[in-house]
Amino acid sequence: MSLPSSGPVRTRFLTQWLERAPAPVFVAVAIVAAFSTYFAMYAFRKPFAAAKFEKEYFLGTAVALKTAIVISQIIGYALSKYIGIKVCSEVTPARRAFMLVSLVGIAQAALVLYGLVPNDWKVAAIFLNGLPLGMIWGLVVWYLEGRRTSELLLAGLSLSYIMASGVVKDFGRALMEGTVAKWWSVIPGIGAPVAGLLGKVSEGWMPAVAGFHFVPVFLASVWLLNQLPRPNVADVAARAEREPMKGADRLAFVKQFAFGLTVLCVAYFFLTAYRDFRDNYQVEIFEGLGYPYDNNNKSIISRAETIVTFGVMAVLAMLNLVRNNRTGLLCAFGIMTGGVVLLGLSTALLQAGLISGFWWMTLTGLGSYLAYVPYGSVLFERLMASTRVVGTAVFAIYLADAIGYTGSVGVQLYKDLAAGSVSRFGFFMGFTWFMSVLGAICLLASATYFARRTRTSSAES
């Protein structure tokens, strides 16, 4: 992959035009750039989850091969978050586009290796795939934070991984079925040779092939993202200055808000595990609910996640209407708490026979993402703005992410080693009840803490 234009070659005209453009125009361009960048990244991360590797076990142990592959990628992704605490907090604007392209290039190379090696070695290859990808989110957030419209921009960015997760897995299944080859065959010229080359893609090669399809989209999106102007004077006045944070700055931030951050991270430890379990085993959970993969259910994951996407977008976008930063922070907590409560409510409705399995999966997606998405976007954006701490929300996001993905590894290992006789659907059902109760307790405690700490803040947009 080649580096998008930067420096003197960069299209300065577009940047200058965006500086003068009306706010709705800038917001639209920024959302398109950020959304498409992260959406395309998901094609290098998640298609592998569409493969099932049925009745295959890692190195002859009790751990299913798919579980080992999922956990290995999460370990790489979690380690990337720990690395990102420093790297993404300190990266300069001039290096962001280069890092974005380089990291995805490494991830795609790992997917090619994944296709080449035997099944047990795929566990190592997918670890190398996850290792660079965990830093992409922070690099993209850097372009969007610290603006008066950051809620809208970050909500638009967050839509990308909710929608992309379902779409790229359905795309992966279409590759394995040969459907994508049929799509290529109707294109004049190169279509027929490409279709003949693809055919029905194997479980091992499917992730790499999916990634190659999205390379042009990713490069074009990074180029557009890199044209966005930096926050202006009015943005800084409203949301506080955003600068790279050195080690001493990061330590001081943690000490200043220790209790509130700790309780938030406890909730996120399990919330990330919950969201990841649902995300990685949607195929199996839908089957447990009575939705086998057939002609009627080929796009069921995409349908559910599309509803979730627009539901989350509608709720989070409304935060942009809240000008007072302290009020905005507390509203974010309210949305998150409502999300975990929805997990329990939807499960009760399913067990009472009042909703279908499809709508239960849709509502658990909506509830979990309403709680999960603010961690990576508006929660810490409003926290930085309301406390007037000079730094970057990327640091707090990566601190939480590193802890969260550690929880994801632990929970998935617990499922196979301590609850191996329980189906993934049954385990997910019990986990939903647990997450609803624990999440509500932790989020309410943290909201109370930050309400007191920001009571005297005068920061307003």
What's the confidence (pLDDT) of residue 423?
A: 86
Domain that holds residue 252: 7-453
Q: How many C-beta atoms lie closer than 10 Å to residue 289's C-beta?
A: 18
In a domain, 458, yes or no: no
Residue 77 falls within a domain, yes or no?
Answer: yes
Domain total in the chain: 1
Beta pairing partners, 242: 391
379 in Cβ contact with 331 (< 8 Å) = no
- The whole-number pLDDT of residue 36 equals 96
Tell me which amino acid residue 233 is. Answer: V
pLDDT by position in tens, the chain (length 461): 444 444 444 447 888 898 888 989 999 999 999 999 999 999 999 888 888 888 888 888 878 888 889 889 988 988 898 888 888 888 888 889 999 999 999 999 999 999 999 989 999 999 999 999 989 988 998 898 778 887 788 878 878 887 887 788 888 888 888 887 777 777 777 767 776 777 788 888 999 999 999 999 999 999 999 999 988 788 777 666 666 777 787 888 888 888 988 999 999 999 989 988 898 788 888 888 888 766 666 678 888 888 988 888 888 878 778 878 888 889 999 999 999 999 999 999 999 999 999 999 999 999 999 999 888 777 887 887 777 776 677 777 788 888 887 887 788 778 777 777 788 889 999 999 999 999 999 999 999 998 888 775 444 43
The reply to whether 197 falls in a domain is yes
Q: Name the token pair of 295.
A: 């002609």
Give one word for 152, left, alpha or beta, with left for phi > 0 and alpha for psi -120 to 50. Answer: alpha
Q: Is residue 460 part of a domain?
A: no
pLDDT at 352: 93
Q: What does DSSP assign to residue 460?
A: B
Q: What secondary structure letter does DSSP report for 65?
A: H
Residues 380/393, Cβ–Cβ less than 8 Å: yes
Determine, yes or no, domain membership for 1.
no
Residues in contact with 142: Cβ distance below 8 Å, sequence separation at least 6, in sequence order: 88, 91, 93, 96, 392, 394
Please name the amino acid found at residue 133.
L
Q: Which CATH number do you get for residue 222?
A: 1.20.1250.20
Asked whether residue 322 is domain-assigned, the answer is: yes
What confidence score (pLDDT) does residue 461 get? 38
In a domain, 459, yes or no: no
Partners of 64 in the beta sheet? 57
Cα 19 from chain centre? 28
Is position 2 within any domain? no
- pLDDT value of residue 245: 72
